Amino acid sequence: MTTLLEPGAGEGTVLPLARHAPARTSAPVRRQMGGVTRNDRLTVLGALASAVCTSALLFGRVATFSGRFGFVVVTYVVFLATYALLVWLSDDRPAVIDKLMTVVLYSAAAVLASGLISVVSFTLWRGRTALGKSNLYVQDMSNAGPADPLTVGGIKHALVGTLMMITVALLITVPLGVACAVYLNEARSRVSRIVRTIVEAMTALPSVLAGLFIFATWILILGFERSSLAASLAISIMMLPIIIRSSDVVLRLVPGNLREASAALGAPAWRTVWHVVLPTARSGLATSIILGTARGIGETSPVLLTAGFTASLNTNPVSGPMVSLPLATFEFVRSPQPALVARGFATAAVLMGVVLALFIVARIIGGTGPANLSKRKAGRLVRRSARDVTRFNDATRGAPPC
Partner 1 sequence: MQTTHVVDLRPDGQAPKPRPVRGVPSLSDRLFRRGSGLSGLLVLAIMAAVGLFLAIQAAQALRTTGASFLTTAEWQPDRGRFGIAAVLTGTISIALVAVAFSFPIASGTALFISEIAPPRVKKAFIAMVDLMAAVPSVVFGLWGLYFLQDQVIGLSRWLSIWLGWIPIFKVTGADPTNPLASESVYTASTFIAGIVVGLMVMPIQCSVMREVFSQAPAGEREGAFALGATRWGMVRAVVLPFGRGGMIGGTMLGLGRAMGETIAVLLIISPRFEITIHVLEAGSNSVSSLIALLYSESSDFGLSALFAAGLALFCLTLAINFTASAFVARSRSGATSEG
Interactions with partner 1, residue window 138-177 (CB under 8 A): 175-177
| Interface with partner 1 in residues 285-304 (CB under 8 A) | 291, 294-295, 297-301, 304
Taking the C-alpha atoms of residue 377 and residue 177, their distance in angstroms, rounded to an integer, is: 27
For position 65 contacting partner 1 by CB under 8 A, the verdict is yes
Residues in binding contact with partner 1, number by CB under 8 A: 106
Of 76, 239, 86, nearest to 171 by C-alpha is 239
For position 202 contacting partner 1 by CB under 8 A, the verdict is yes
Q: Which of 329, 340, 343, 346: binder of partner 1 (CB under 8 A)?
A: 329
Q: What's the sign of the alpha-carbon dihedral 293, 294, 299, 304?
A: positive
Q: Which of 26, 69, 336, 390: binder of partner 1 (CB under 8 A)?
A: 69
Q: Which helix (H) or strand (E) holds 82?
A: helix 68-90
Contact letters (x/-) for partner 1, 100-139, by CB under 8 A?
A: -xx-xxxxxx-xxx-xx-xxx-xx--x-------------
For position 192 contacting partner 1 by CB under 8 A, the verdict is yes
For position 70 contacting partner 1 by CB under 8 A, the verdict is yes
For position 316 contacting partner 1 by CB under 8 A, the verdict is no
Q: Where are the alpha helices (DSSP H) in 127-226?
A: 128-132, 135-138, 156-186, 190-202, 207-214
Least distance in angstroms from the C-beta of 127 to partner 1:
10
Burial pattern 215-247, b for ≥16 Cβ within 10 A else e, equals beebbeeeebebbbbbbbbbbbbbbbbbbbbbb
Least distance in angstroms from the C-beta of 66 to partner 1:
5
For position 333 contacting partner 1 by CB under 8 A, the verdict is yes
For position 215 contacting partner 1 by CB under 8 A, the verdict is yes
Taking the C-alpha atoms of residue 83 and residue 100, their distance in angstroms, rounded to an integer, is: 7
Window contacting partner 1 (CB under 8 A); options: 200-208, 276-284, 312-320, 375-383: 200-208
Taking the C-alpha atoms of residue 55 and residue 71, their distance in angstroms, rounded to an integer, is: 7
For position 207 contacting partner 1 by CB under 8 A, the verdict is yes
Q: Which helix (H) or strand (E) holds 245?
A: helix 228-252
Taking the C-alpha atoms of residue 80 and residue 99, their distance in angstroms, rounded to an integer, is: 10
One-letter identity of residue 25? T
Q: Which of 3, 32, 37, 64: binder of partner 1 (CB under 8 A)?
A: 64
Least distance in angstroms from the C-beta of 180 to partner 1:
5
